[in-house]
Amino acid sequence: MANNMILERLEGVKTRFIEVSDLLTKPEVLSDMEKYIKLSKEYKSLQPIIEAYEKYKLTLTNISSTKELLSGEKDEEMREMAKAELENMNSQVPEMEEEIKFLLIPADPEDEKNAVVEIRAGTGGDEASIFAGDLFRMYSKFFELKGWKTEINRFSEGTAGGYKEIVLSVSGDGVYGLMKYESGVHRVQRVPQTETQGRIHTSAASIVVLPEADEFDVVIRNEDIRKDTYCSSGPGGQSVNTTYSAIRLTHVPTGIVVTCQDEKSQIKNYDKALAELRTRLYNLEYQKYLDDVSHKRKTMVSTGDRSAKIRTYNYPQGRMTDHRINYTVYNLPSILDGNIQEVIDRLQMAENTERLKESNI
């Protein structure tokens, strides 16, 4: 039996899909890049719903025609075949409706954005910096598997290896939508390299993932920025080059400061620093939304809450546990090699289930 509420919602989506498709051919839209990009993203987000709708509608049509065939068919063999086909199609309908319900949950418009990822050593001294380096390696492998592009904005190395802090920009298809689940405190339980007694220590590193703002999201006035240049420095503070290529930007109205020294070119460092500044300003507003969401959904941690422990990596037991959904796996080496997609999939499913309850579809 068709769900009339779902059909009604799907008809509305199809009407909007046709409307957006038509708008994308209009000269006034083609000449307005901001509007064109926005509509293109909407068109892309509606496509999977339309595909599921067409498949659902075709199944309902076939069920109806098979029922008609049964009512007039006298041949017993044909009737048995039609009954089997009808039973098969009827069994597919609830599954299709469930898939459509999830597709109809309004997507977070930030999900398609690129992201700025910050990895910072927390409690645990040198061991925390080494662990931050391990997390950077894990994510780098994951980004590689996804075919995403990574650029390091800045980093500060730990005295015994790893990083005290590393900030990178990640670009690709739907980066923020997947990486947002990684925000929070990650704990490691293992015997540190510096430990002579073989005792297990607990250290931590915090991950903050921000949706990267594009040039249409935030307008920054030149007069609101103070620009400073200085020489890039490497481990131990030695000068990497003698040119003033490193950039420090201060947004005077908010006091936000960003730096970039990764590139040898001052212009490239300025562009990267400006992009990060734009992202941080954009996230001042986005933070309000995240704070609200994080109270409602256990899968999401507000980027402002750096104390929320979301995951533990236990080396002696080869175990990884995500505390938000009580999910544990005993394949830690594989996880640390970047195979975290299954964990993210489970977090997405948990969040979508929560959002489905909110939406009353």
Angle CA(109)–CA(110)–CA(115) in degrees, nearest 5? 160
Instruction: Tell me, rounded to whole angstroms, the distance of Cα 98 from its chain centroid.
Output: 23
Q: How far apart are CA 268 and CA 330, in angstroms?
A: 43
State whether the Cα torsion 27-32-35-36 is positive or negative.
positive
pLDDT tens per residue, range 162-199: 999 999 999 998 899 999 999 999 999 999 876 667 78
Q: Which fold has domain 115-355?
A: Alpha-Beta Plaits (3.30.70)
Point out the least confidently predicted range of 53-62, 155-164, 298-307, 312-321. Answer: 298-307
- At residue 303 the predicted structure's pLDDT band, cuts being 50, 70 and 90, is very low
pLDDT tens per residue, range 55-110: 999 999 999 899 888 887 778 888 888 889 999 999 999 999 888 988 888 777 78
Residues ≥6 apart with Cβ < 8 Å to 316: 189, 190, 191, 200
Q: What is the pLDDT of residue 340?
A: 97
CATH code for the part of the protein at 4-104? 1.20.58
- At residue 1 the predicted structure's pLDDT band, cuts being 50, 70 and 90, is very low
- Decide: 332 and 319 in contact? Cβ < 8 Å: yes
Position with higher pLDDT, 359 vs 197: 197
Domain-by-domain residue ranges, the chain?
A: 4-104, 115-355
pLDDT tens per residue, range 315-341: 999 999 999 999 999 999 999 999 999
- At residue 304 the predicted structure's pLDDT band, cuts being 50, 70 and 90, is very low
